[in-house]
Amino acid sequence: MAHVVLDKDGVMANFLGGFAAYLRAKGHHHDYPTPTEYNFAHQWDLTPEQFQYQMLEFAADRGYRDLDPIGDLTVLYGLVGHRVTVATKRFSRPQHRGIVAGDSLNWLWDHNVSFDNFALVQDKDVVDGDIFVDDAPSNILALRAAGKRAIIFDQPWNRSLKGERVFNLGQFVDLVNS
């Protein structure tokens, strides 16, 4: 039995689609192309300050609750028998952390994602686990530097990274079970 650690946004949940829809609803009319860099504010014509402000507002307005899933999440039932932790990184105001954590948990429950533990962390390399899946280059590199097995969940912003890569959660489940 392995201890599996799953990222939420960019792996299970389509954060970018939800954030783009939120910005459009707030009157920001932009094309919002799929980013090719993880720090994509400039690709969406947002200054770092505007991006940070909009991210905080997105969290406060319960945006993490309404994200679409990425692919078929029922494949995660293939992890039955393994210990599963969902570890996600959140930027929020201290007064909104409870809302953000609750919205993230409710999203997981609403999408029938089965897990044993949930962690809202800044640094994923402090989370205990045998095998991780993540889309963020900084998380992948930090996990590997800490000696952990980190699988890249393919996204346009992480294509320059080398190493084990999956293109969907079904492939990740197969890798865990092999």
CATH of residue 99's domain is: 3.40.50.1000
Rounded to 5°, angle at Cα 24 from 86 and 139: 30
Which of the listed residues 25, 47, 65 is the one where a domain comes to its end?
65
Q: Which phi-psi region, left, alpha or beta, contains residue 32 (left: φ > 0; alpha: ψ -120 to 50)?
A: left
In angstroms, the CA 81 to CA 84 distance is 9
| Crossing angle between the packed helical segments 48-60 and 97-110, to the nearest 10 degrees | 70
Q: Which residue stretches of 30-118 are H helix?
A: 48-60, 97-110
| Cβ-contact 85, 129 below 8 angstroms | yes
CB neighbours (10 Å) of residue 171? 16
The structure tokens listed for 3 are 């201890």
Residue 43 and residue 87 in one domain: no
What domain range is 35 assigned to?
Answer: 15-65
Give the span between the Cα atoms of 48 and 174, in whole angstroms: 38
Which secondary structure element, helix H or strand E, spans residue 19, and what is its range? helix 15-25
Residue 129 and residue 85 in one domain: yes
Please tell me the total count of domains within the chain. 2
Phi-psi label, residue 131: left if phi above 0, alpha if psi -120 to 50, beta otherwise: beta
pLDDT in tens, the chain (178 residues): 999 999 999 999 999 999 999 999 999 877 888 898 888 988 998 999 998 899 889 988 999 999 999 999 999 999 999 999 999 987 666 777 788 889 999 999 999 999 999 998 889 999 999 999 999 999 999 999 999 999 999 999 999 999 999 999 999 999 999 9
